[in-house]
Amino acid sequence: MIRVAKNSALRHALYGSLIVLGLSLSAHAADSASVTGLGQSWPNASDISTSPRWHVYAFQRDGIRYIQVNDLNGKVRAALAVAGNEFLVLPMGSDAARVNTPTTAATTITAAKATTASAGEQVYNDGSMQLYVLPRADGSASLSASNCSGDLPNCGVHSNALKLPIDGMH
When computed from its CA atoms, the radius of gyration of the chain, rounded to whole angstroms, is 22
How far is residue 13's CA from residue 10's CA, in Å, rounded to a whole number? 5
Residues 74, 43 contacting (CB under 8 angstroms): no
Average pLDDT for residues 75-80, to the nearest whole number? 97
- CA 36-82-47 angle, to 5 degrees, is 50
Per-residue pLDDT of 38-67, as tens digits, reads 999 999 999 999 999 999 999 999 999 999
pTM of the model: 0.67
